[in-house]
Amino acid sequence: MTSASNHFSSHLHELRQRVLISFIAITLFSGISYMFRVPLADFFVAPLFKAYPDLATLIYTNLTEALFSYIKLALLVGIITSFPILCYQSWMYIAPGLHNNEQKTVFLIVFCASFLFAGGAAFAFFIVLPETLGFFMSFADENIQPKPKFGAYLTFVARTSLAFGLAFEIPFLMVASAKIGWIKKVYFIKKRPYFYIAILVLSFLLTTGDIIATILLAFPLFALYEFGIIIMHLFLRKVSAP
């Protein structure tokens, strides 16, 4: 019992340390991002003005809305920029006891996961978001004029970017689940049709029912799923080799 208790306490202490490091990283990068809140806001609002050129400004109706919107924007950028640190802390916690020959693989995994997350967020912002905004703004006419709220729009952008960034983490999650023994790697091959259906449903939900955006998200996720099977096979075979 004492050994088990000490083992649990050690894991809990490690978890606290890694959560603290992750929290500090997000706070630091978010603070830096807040210093550049105005140019960042202009950058994130640009797709909306491009989708509907007649829109001149965004509005806010509560006195604190603009402030909290800027904080929300800084937090979004802070999470995205600190993701490599978050990924490293997560991987080192779920895959402890790595051998010396696996240390280089850790940095490769972190780099790939960070690249996938950034790629997903960029895919959402530069490809899916313009299509989605164009679809929503197409309902405007002489009798219905859009007046988007600054805070609500940034919430939509943040939710879309983070959702797509996490969705693009499919290969990383597959490798992680197989590494810690939750799921056998052959399971992803045998259950491929069911995962494809789940990807279609996930894509439909993330794109709020926009068929074009659903297709634009689903096909890259199909490719990432197959890429995850390849990487999982190569990685696990390598780390299990003597």
With a threshold of 0.95, does the pTM exceed it?
Answer: no
pLDDT at 204 over 60: yes
pLDDT at residue 30 above 90?
A: yes
- List the beta bridge partners of residue 149: 59
C-beta neighbour count of 130 within 10 angstroms: 16
Residue 108: pLDDT above 50? yes
d(CA 48, CA 100): 49
pLDDT score recorded for residue 8: 63
The model's confidence at residue 26, banded by pLDDT at 50, 70 and 90, is: very high
Q: Where are the domains of the chain?
A: 2-240
With 80 as the cut, is the pLDDT of residue 2 above it?
no
**Contact by Cβ (8 Å): 114, 25:** no
CB of 72 closer than 8 Å to CB of 157: no
Single out the residue of 167, 48, 47 nearest to residue 119, CA to CA.
Answer: 167
pLDDT of residue 113: 81
The backbone torsions φ and ψ at residue 37, rounded to the nearest 5 degrees and listed phi first, read -60, -40
Task: Kindly state the percentage of the chain with pLDDT values over 90.
Answer: 12
